[in-house]
Amino acid sequence: MKKILERIKWLLLSIPHDKLLHFIAGGVIASFFAIVIGATAEYCVLFSAIAGCIKEAVDEWRKPGAWSYADLLATILGGLVIQIEVWIA
């Protein structure tokens, strides 16, 4: 069990801080739409994907060449985790 916890800790520490923030943001956006608005699970990940695209478009507008598909993916994955939780619940 200790070895498993060490591997989980290593995995969490190896994720770049920026990607972790994108993941959390995608989860928060999907949670908002799932809980407050009452959107179905299918829309949770859609809203986080839209928010991720808007964020990356703003980054690209501010600094050309700043678009990051890895950031977009991290945001979408955060929404996907919430979508799966909504399906389970």
Residue found by looking up tokens 């700043």 in the block: 66
Which tokens belong to 24?
């959390």
At residue 42, the pLDDT reads 76
| 63-78 pLDDT tens trace | 999 899 999 999 999 9
Task: Please provide the distance, in angstroms rounded to a whole number, between the alpha carbons at the two ends of the chain.
Answer: 28
Report how far Cα 15 is from the mean position of its chain's Cα atoms. 13
Enumerate the domain spans of the chain: 17-88
At residue 4, the pLDDT reads 82
Cβ(49)–Cβ(76) below 8 Å: yes
Q: Give φ, ψ of 45 to 5 degrees.
A: -70, -30
| 12-47 pLDDT tens trace | 778 888 899 999 999 999 988 888 887 777 788 889
